[in-house]
Structure 1
């Protein structure tokens, strides 16, 4: 039977926990004369034995008892951080798919119990991310990047820990939410300065690969401005990024023929790269020409006759390009397209569009005002002094 640990002195609670774990095969000695902290250290060392229990409620009861003891340890005592980290490590080790949700609940209780103390609860949150990520439930512990940024920053936990957490979040989010993963990676690279950019080689490389491999990401020119990415200039991985930013399909094929090992060792798929480069090349073609023949598309994108129409339909599904397909005349009429890069020229176009939109609104406003005035002028005036009958 699982003991209930409520309204019990720390020493008595440790004694009951010690007896309980000894009944499961532990070999904990009698109460330590130095106080309950030494006892608690030993108990945490064998706390994973409670997972022998069949009922989840029993496991949670025991683990929550340990949490109640941890919360009572003075946070100013260095041993508090050691005990919390040891407990987190134990739960990470036993967080199989069957136990993960229990471990998350227990660590969330501990997290709440530590209060607003980022230095202490950083390791708790890091463990929560690791466990939640292992079962594909990052949504249980992660809301948005802003919250993480405001809670854990270099001022309260140190830059190394911030970067460590962002790396883990990126790795986990990449499996479930590629858009959010991209935001986290940009945040991570933004933590490096020109002086430390050389230390970010691995992160920058991982960033480039994740953006290229993401089937829903097509705009990548902003990566070229990041200091860690700029540090890679002259290397093949940087050349690959510039191809996906502004080059066409032929440029990628030439690169691949010379760097097959890089593509394979980076975990990239050549077939997926080809498909993405065809989409990007079509976008670039659509920017410069509003009418494209099937023959031009076939030659530029190296497609078979029977594949052209299917490819164009795939492009339209992405909503990167809006166009009409003329099957009879075998051509595509482009109405709008997303730009592959957004530089000075695109900002000028946006400014011109907004200026024209503003002018159109003013014209509509003046037209309506004139119409209202004209309507009032045609109305029969009312005689303020009517003649009595």
Structure 2
């Protein structure tokens, strides 16, 4: 079946008539005649049967048809285009098969980029883009990171409810594509959309955020979660107790919790062995904060590992770059030079302030030294 020619330099009405003829030729129940009610009614009817091209068209042909529809759609005044755009998005999310979904993804991306940045419809198109990205495992082609997402909607920010809906979908899609770090960041953004007035309604989102952060093997700074309003509403519940252990307690505290609440940990979809590994890393960070020199025996005891496992564990620690250290196998010790803090409170701010003041003092000393050297050189030149 031949695709209609590329529609260039013809009116939207004639372009719509060409699409009608093409779709009718594919067996769609549509008249070839233009609508007497105008281009918007033409679009409604064309979009209603545009999935006919999915049945017989090749990927390139389908994409061409969809792009033609987009080229007409963007000419409709925005206040009258809402239902047309939503109907088009719904049709494209139901495209059968990977190749046709990819063609639909590209057509929707074209629509998203073609809409005015101030258009509230960009949110709806983007949401459907993520839905198709979920089906095609193409989320990286749509979503870069949270900052980029915010830039996309800077001129017309979605409502809190719309953002919550989008973030929930994004979290699900990112987890599916093994982007756990990005998924955790999205969940934190989701909880940040709640206010003190509605934080109590965010229980499920808060639990999902905590579980996502605990399960993510690359997320170790968990302290900020405790300050989120929806998380604070969980105080007294087991999930909050578990989070608090990961924030500031040691491995033994986790083991005690697990011994008493095995079914709860499992019911949250958390893996005990992975929890153990993460708590060992966190416990070692805690040791390193106050002990620049740690013996292998202390590590073995505190982290409950065998003597032959200590070196392998330390190698894993160094790979995370959470701690800077060097091993002395002969002395059976590890010397730490710096570590990421598990919590960042008043003491850590004071330590940072002291460090910056020290740097400032050193720079001033260098500056004064340079002035002295410069003055001496100038004096020597004058004498010559």
User: Does TM, normalized by the shorter one, top 0.5?
Assistant: yes
Q: Secondary structure, in 3 states, of the residue corresponding to 1:98?
A: helix
The CA distance in 2 between the partners of 1:361 and 1:34, in whole Å, is 76
The CA distance in 1 between the partners of 2:118 and 2:164, in whole Å, is 19
The CA distance in 2 between the partners of 1:204 and 1:118, in whole Å, is 31
**Superimposed CA distance per residue, residues 71-99 of structure 1 (whole angstroms, 9 cap, x where no aligned partner):** 2333222xx21111111111111164322
The CA distance in 1 between the partners of 2:32 and 2:128, in whole Å, is 31
Corresponding position: 1:265 with 2:267: yes
Structure 1 residues 292 and 8, CA, compared in 2 at 3 Å: closer, same or farther?
same
Tell whether the 8 Å contact from 2:194 to 2:229 is kept in structure 1 after alignment. Answer: yes
Give the structure 2 partner of residue 140 of structure 1: 141
Superposed displacement of residue 244, structure 1: 0.6
Tell whether the 8 Å contact from 1:145 to 1:184 is kept in structure 2 after alignment. Answer: yes
Greater C-alpha radius of gyration: 1
Give the structure 1 partner of residue 63 of structure 2: 60
Superposed displacement of residue 25, structure 1: 2.9
Q: Secondary structure, in 3 states, of the residue corresponding to 2:276?
A: helix
Tell whether the 8 Å contact from 2:119 to 2:156 is kept in structure 1 after alignment. Answer: no
Structure 1 residues 54 and 277, CA, compared in 2 at 3 Å: closer, same or farther?
same
Superposed displacement of residue 120, structure 1: 1.8
**Superimposed CA distance per residue, residues 358-377 of structure 1 (whole angstroms, 9 cap, x where no aligned partner):** 11111222223223334444
**Superimposed CA distance per residue, residues 313-349 of structure 1 (whole angstroms, 9 cap, x where no aligned partner):** 1111212112221212222222222211110001001
Give aligned pairs, total: 380
Give ranges in structure 1 of 5+ residues lacking alignment.
Answer: 383-389
**Superimposed CA distance per residue, residues 7-58 of structure 1 (whole angstroms, 9 cap, x where no aligned partner):** 4445544443333223323223564554443343232122122123453332
Give the structure 1 partner of residue 227 of structure 2: 225
Give matches, 1:199-214, under 5 Å. 199-214=201-216
Give the structure 2 partner of residue 255 of structure 1: 257
The CA distance in 2 between the partners of 1:19 and 1:57, in whole Å, is 19
The CA distance in 2 between the partners of 1:295 and 1:68, in whole Å, is 70
**Superimposed CA distance per residue, residues 206-228 of structure 1 (whole angstroms, 9 cap, x where no aligned partner):** 11111111111111101111101
Give the structure 1 partner of residue 331 of structure 2: 329
Q: Secondary structure, in 3 states, of the residue corresponding to 1:334?
A: strand
Superposed displacement of residue 150, structure 1: 4.9
The CA distance in 2 between the partners of 1:9 and 1:280, in whole Å, is 65
**Superimposed CA distance per residue, residues 107-138 of structure 1 (whole angstroms, 9 cap, x where no aligned partner):** 12222333234322221111112223433333
Tell whether the 8 Å contact from 2:213 to 2:222 is kept in structure 1 after alignment. Answer: yes
The CA distance in 2 between the partners of 1:277 and 1:199, in whole Å, is 30
Give matches, 1:36-75, under 5 Å. 36-75=39-78
Corresponding position: 1:215 with 2:222: no
Structure 1 residues 58 and 274, CA, compared in 2 at 3 Å: closer, same or farther?
same
Superposed displacement of residue 265, structure 1: 2.4
Give ranges in structure 2 of 5+ residues lacking alignment.
Answer: none
CA RMSD of superposed structures (Å): 2.4
**Superimposed CA distance per residue, residues 281-324 of structure 1 (whole angstroms, 9 cap, x where no aligned partner):** 01111112222221211111111121111101111121211222
Corresponding position: 1:166 with 2:167: yes
The CA distance in 1 between the partners of 2:41 and 2:189, in whole Å, is 41
Give the structure 2 partner of residue 343 of structure 1: 345
Structure 1 residues 262 and 99, CA, compared in 2 at 3 Å: closer, same or farther?
farther
The CA distance in 2 between the partners of 1:2 and 1:171, in whole Å, is 37
Tell whether the 8 Å contact from 1:173 to 1:180 is kept in structure 2 after alignment. Answer: yes
Q: Secondary structure, in 3 states, of the residue corresponding to 1:355?
A: helix
The CA distance in 1 between the partners of 2:74 and 2:277, in whole Å, is 54
Structure 1 residues 381 and 136, CA, compared in 2 at 3 Å: closer, same or farther?
same
The CA distance in 2 between the partners of 1:160 and 1:219, in whole Å, is 28
Superposed displacement of residue 241, structure 1: 0.7
Structure 1 residues 226 and 125, CA, compared in 2 at 3 Å: closer, same or farther?
same
Give the structure 2 partner of residue 303 of structure 1: 305
Structure 1 residues 27 and 294, CA, compared in 2 at 3 Å: closer, same or farther?
same
The CA distance in 1 between the partners of 2:103 and 2:200, in whole Å, is 41
Corresponding position: 1:19 with 2:50: no
The CA distance in 2 between the partners of 1:331 and 1:66, in whole Å, is 69
